[in-house]
Structure 1
Amino acid sequence: MIRIIPAKDRHSADHGWLKPTWLFSFADYHDEDNMQFGTLRVFNDDVIAAGTGFGMHGHRDMEIVTVVLEGAVTHQDSMGNKTVINAGEVQRMSAGTGVMHSEHNRGATPLHLYQVWFPPRKTGIKPDYEQRDYSAVPRANRLLPVVSGFGHAEAMAINSDAVMSLADLEPGKSITVPLADGRGLFIYVMGGTLTVNGKPLAVHDQARISGEKEVTITGITQAKIITVEVTGV
């Protein structure tokens, strides 16, 4: 089954300093029919105004991944990390037994990022942190895994049964993803237009796929995507 969710059906808000788009239930948006997709619990497409951000707040027993698209995140946490995550970089944090952190846009222009949460495979682990620069790693017409619970060599390891990847598609080029039983695929179109098993998607559309043996993603125009392979669907 391939469920296409058009961009207009995403839940967006405007808090002035923060303009979030929540692809799953989050904060004051609650929909019992849109809580998660397999091991993908949260996918937020956020724009944060210059000079603002999230003060110190806590998490526990969640794998949290941040993908910076434009601008930079100034991050500080209770593990002692004080870092800047620039556009093209990906950060992953295992909250485990509990972590406090803050995220700010110290720049002069808006910050655009995705924040993605995965429930942990094992609870109560020691909190952990890592970030990597993927901006120069080739992803043309292939999935580049950036975080994975399945041991992908190019990816940062997460404590969850999921793998998140980035890809750039040229017009007419395809990526085929085989799916084992119980695995599903989430696709979010970052830019351009494409098809998923022949079904058209445009920018900010999403596909949630289950019960398929393989998925073929083909560029119509130049396109950018982020995918999450999940279990439990």
Structure 2
Amino acid sequence: MTADEAAASAARGTVVLLPVGAFEQHGPGLPLATDQVRAEAVVERLADALGGAAVIGPGVPVGVSPHHAAFAGTVSLRPALFTAVVREYVESLAAHGWTRFLVVTGHGGNNAALGVLAQDLLRDRPDLEVAWAPVTAVARTAVGELETDEVTGHSGEAETSQMLHVAPHLVRRDRLAPGTTRLDEIEGFPRLGRSVPQPQVASAYDRLSGNGVLGDPRRATPEAGRQIVEEVVERLGSFVKEWLDL
């Protein structure tokens, strides 16, 4: 967009979509930028679905990833710096008339920081409305049908399926390998049982998985990835439409 087009967009009351991700290990088969690639793919499809009701703002390709630091290539921002960057994006754009922002994160490690940011902005900038949503967690139905092991998640079936759908050229299919799939494979890690909500423990991923993978990415398929992405876009699209109506 040009500056003139941006001004017209803000005047129409569009929602700004901000894709944020991470630059961290994703096992032997997925690229370091997996989370940003997925977030941008979702945001692009969401903007298309919403038409003129949304615009895409600049992304934040590095997130909060200290738990992946033992693996080569990982880059991380401190939570305070990450939230400061996103806040500067929001307030810069707000100065030109935008008031609604939806941050779409491909990285679960950003969740806590984004929650803090939303609370701070609610206190400091009540004139703005800021929402945030993780990618994979929104697609509960499609992900639930795919992930069947006791332990799944990072670089596993769901993330790999999404990458096979949105960026298959970046997936090293011949290198996909299972990681931790059972709770008893994690030594010395306290838990209360699968049916009980777990206390949240900050833990390095090399303690959880030798290759950085939770689950078995060999089960991933492009079709499963398509279903996940479509569910995310549908749910977030419904949210934004209701948000604008309200």
| Category of TM-score, reference length = shorter chain | under 0.3
More strand by share: 1
The structure whose RCO (Cα within 8 Å, separation 6+) is larger is 2
More helix by share: 2
TM-score w.r.t. length of structure 2: 0.25
TM-score w.r.t. length of structure 1: 0.26
